[in-house]
Structure 1
């Protein structure tokens, strides 16, 4: 039996999320609506002697993408030899491609049997992409957006890859200044969405305490091509929000980004952030804030220490 770490990326638009749903009544059925389920199905082409059970390092919700995520899996070959990691990568990608799945295995590597994709991770970096309209949208007689801006140009390459905003009084300096309030150790209970999953640890008073190591706001760029790229740059200012921490609560990043966008649009002020951080409660969420949609969120990197990877001797039989 050998353990392998898989470095993966994917577009999450058409998936329910990365984590598979386990149905005890249908244990043999593979959940192909999740990233994990599709990967486990692809791993079956190797016909290992053991049952395939992958372990995720991070969870992402429906519509969230990943530039880099990880999972580990144990595989026992019939002859007892380890799988060649290059062949493992190539066969998995070919299998996923045949099914037209937007999942890519970046690389595979053998790791110690004690390695754990989740528990050995020392940090995660998320990236949120959004674009702000350069022009003021046309208003109707009531002062509302006419047709919610559906007449505006939107590059087709960016559909479900970026969050597009109208540029009414948007102030990136306000956003940048407010982002500093989230850095450090806080009780983020107000910034956690309710989940159906039940766990004894969730009742612990320290469960919602997290440390945000970094929040960086940088100018972004369009992913559009050809003439669409020029038109997109003329119509929008692209921005990237990068958030780094050891771990995150359910929808914490999207709630933080939604709060920062509300600050930038002057729907709330910094006092609102102070109250939500100092009086942590699921009832203290300011409903003037819209949770940032999943389409703009990317799991950018899962971080490990270099000494977490002790590669077995590849020359052994």
Structure 2
């Protein structure tokens, strides 16, 4: 019997090429240990299902981007009327990830209807971008590099910048123009595959609030030379590189390279020609997928007189 499952999971994306596999011409049923999707499929194969467990991600992230709570669905098939227990799947996957020392953690797994899609049933996605700016009263030697002042806990976890005259209020002012329904073509990464795609999206919120460093009991005794900011962005979907390009644009606003009103122009004239080439696309280090939300009724599975059987030791080669 085949059953569909939804899983919620977290990962640190620093060492991964991307969350999504590279699609090959000869099909998609192949292992890809350099991606989140591929590695999770390898873990599911340890359960010895009858089918290849193709994983459908709710959200695709670039290499270096992290996730606090992402999601995906997959189908598993067994002989007879038996189906895999969701808690058993979670435990076996986490055993596998622990064994190979990789930074993926399955939070939970649940059975859903066969028509459910982790991607298309999502009603919203929330992202966080962590930004740290050198405090205006701190004067560092010109010859010094900013990495010399970073807490080691923050390695590849936050975007640190050293820019003169950073004004967070201008940053917030520019962000107001981004909220709402717009064509975000100007803020997408251009390539031949996405040139003709529809790029109108609804941005539900764009909140900027003080953040804090990831610290240990030792580090907290040290004086921080950075102001931390948490940039929380919520919408149903986003175009490729949209968040990192929006944050990069707002940094240019904050240091006076462009006025806040220029954001409105970039939205009203959606084109790659409206993008200012001096704007730096922010690195993936500071970006986190925080949550994927669904309507609760979509997560309810109707059992339809199917009896779940306990799993046997033959389900996994790790027992």
Q: Distance in 1 between matches of 2:171 and 2:26?
A: 48
Q: Which runs of 5+ in 1 are unaligned?
A: 140-144
Name 2:311's counterpart in structure 1.
none
Name 1:213's counterpart in structure 2.
204
Shift of 1:111: 0.3
Shift of 1:230: 3.3
Segment of structure 1 superposing worse, 263-272 or 25-34 = 25-34
Shift of 1:107: 0.3
1:308 corresponds to 2:301: no
State whether residues 81 and 307 of structure 2, in contact with CA within 8 Å, keep that contact through their aligned partners in structure 1: no
1:149 corresponds to 2:146: yes
Q: Distance in 1 between matches of 2:221 and 2:208?
A: 23
TM-score norm. by structure 1 comes to 0.91
State whether residues 9 and 69 of structure 1, in contact with CA within 8 Å, keep that contact through their aligned partners in structure 2: yes
Q: Which runs of 5+ in 2 are unaligned?
A: 309-319
Task: Determine helix, strand or coil for the equivalent of 1:203.
Answer: coil
State whether residues 13 and 62 of structure 1, in contact with CA within 8 Å, keep that contact through their aligned partners in structure 2: yes
Q: Distance in 1 between matches of 2:234 and 2:271?
A: 23
1:299 corresponds to 2:301: no
TM-score norm. by structure 2 comes to 0.90
State whether residues 137 and 149 of structure 1, in contact with CA within 8 Å, keep that contact through their aligned partners in structure 2: no
State whether residues 2 and 110 of structure 1, in contact with CA within 8 Å, keep that contact through their aligned partners in structure 2: yes
Q: Distance in 2 between matches of 1:111 and 1:303?
A: 15
TM-aligned CA distance change 1:315 to 1:2, over 3 Å: closer
Segment of structure 1 superposing worse, 12-21 or 126-135 = 126-135
> What is the RMSD computed on CA atoms of the aligned residues?
1.9
TM-aligned CA distance change 1:285 to 1:56, over 3 Å: same
State whether residues 160 and 296 of structure 1, in contact with CA within 8 Å, keep that contact through their aligned partners in structure 2: yes
Please show how residues 252-291 of structure 1 align to structure 2 within 5 Å: 252-291=242-281
Q: Distance in 1 between matches of 2:144 and 2:27?
A: 45
1:178 corresponds to 2:201: no
Name 1:64's counterpart in structure 2.
65
The structure with the greater share of residues assigned to helix is 1
Q: Distance in 2 between matches of 1:98 and 1:195?
A: 38
Name 2:237's counterpart in structure 1.
247
